[in-house]
Amino acid sequence: MSQAIQITRARRKNPMMGLTPLIDMIFLLLLFFLLGSDFVSYGQSRLAPPRGTGGNESAPQPAIVTLNKQGGLQWNGAPVQAENLAQKVTALVAEDETQLIVLMPAGEAEVQRVSDTLDLLVGAGAGSITLERDVFDIDLADF
């Protein structure tokens, strides 16, 4: 009689999949989407008050002050001197303290002139001033 010899193999443990490749892929995807996205925040600037919220009271239109690259000022499209601008702002704010003034400097305007214009508007009593980019000065290559 022959005796059967049974050979036992060492059992393999269930191979566990490591998380390192998964973490690497998530990190690469995160980098891809961060570098491929725009960081421009839309809707941060308030150009005009909301309309159609109900009630009989309507919000006034914002007054637009533009500053060209030479330092010339315009009030709602009409050229104006700095002294006259201060008078117009004072009269407008006297009617409504919450009047929104939008300052739109040209892209090539000097920062000091923009700062001086802001000081002029604040000195005239404007409490709600928004600094916007001049829409006529936008280069379409930026988009």
Domain presence at residue 48: no
Q: How many structural domains compose the chain? A: 1
Percent pLDDT > 90 in the chain is: 6
Q: Which residue has the tokens 């004072």?
A: 90
Q: In angstroms, rounded to a whole number, what is the distance separating the alpha carbons of residues 76 and 137? A: 16
State pTM to two decimals. 0.53
Is the residue at 39 inside a domain? no
Range of the domain at 79: 63-142
In a domain, 47, yes or no: no
Average pLDDT of the chain is: 75
The strand ranges marked E within 56-118 are: 63-67, 73-75, 78-80, 100-105
Q: In which order are the strands placed within the sheet that holds 128-131?
A: 78-80, 73-75, 63-67, 100-105, 128-131
